[in-house]
Structure 1
Amino acid sequence: MKTKVIAIGNPIMSDEGIAIKVAENLKSILRKNNIEVIMGETDVDYCFDNIKKDDFLFIIDATYYGIIPGSLTLIPLEKSIPYLSDTYSQHELSLINVLKKNGNVPPGYIIGIEVDEIKFDCNLSSSLTKKFDKICSKVQHIIVNNSPNA
């Protein structure tokens, strides 16, 4: 079993790219713990091609639940499956849907990072910038303490 972290997001849409920035920051620490880091950005096919059925995944992504920006949510992958739509369209394409449609949903978690602003900008919002080190520390703690082979 290989543990993999997949960072999803659009780095030119401000906070939508938070997962990419966090994964980039943690990459060397995670690799020292035998955890592979995949910068998936918005390329679902690339992410899917790098996942094996026996992998253990941490999918990091931006969330918008209306909670405090910078807050983290942790959802087991298998618990996220019942809430997904059974439809498949270009506009609803997501990594979880692709995994589900292909019958390959490995064990793992979705780590959501609550956004503040989504706009055309390569920089994070001021609120996430201020919390960035704390967000990285919390994400690292979740991954290292929940990874079966770290």
Structure 2
Amino acid sequence: SNHPKRIDLMNEIRDDWKEHLTAYTSYLAIVSSGSHDDVFDLIAKEETLSPFKIEHPNHNRALFMPMSANNKMLWTEQGISWMEETVARLAPVNENTTIKLVAAFQQVNNLADDLKPRVKQALQKMNDSVDAEQCPSVAGRIKAYLN
């Protein structure tokens, strides 16, 4: 929404819904599916607020997964950088969610010529940052996308 009080309304909803897991995870998904330029700032802010816990599977799935399907925002420089950083941070916490998140890049070889090199670079950075011994499933999936 372009409503002038959009952020105030979102804060109000968070405060109302944060005590209820299902409602709170729905709120997190709304944050991550935003199409405004501030979506990555809003995601980062949510990570710092109570009750968000990155190690909680519902929390990390709800806040991060919608971005993997957010075509308007993911396929930007900021979106690709967000994916690089998030995969590196999330992999040691939750391999399952991370594998699903990085799957957004699985068709890297079929991307447009102007996008493909940047996504390959992002996958390489992810490959370099994910510990293959600690996170074998994520590391293996990233390697498969690079080949």
TM-score (norm 2): 0.28
Q: TM-score, normalised on structure 1?
A: 0.28
Q: Bigger radius of gyration, 1 or 2?
A: 2
* Relative contact order higher in (CA < 8 Å, ≥ 6 apart): 1
Q: Which has the higher strand share?
A: 1
Structure number with higher helix proportion: 2
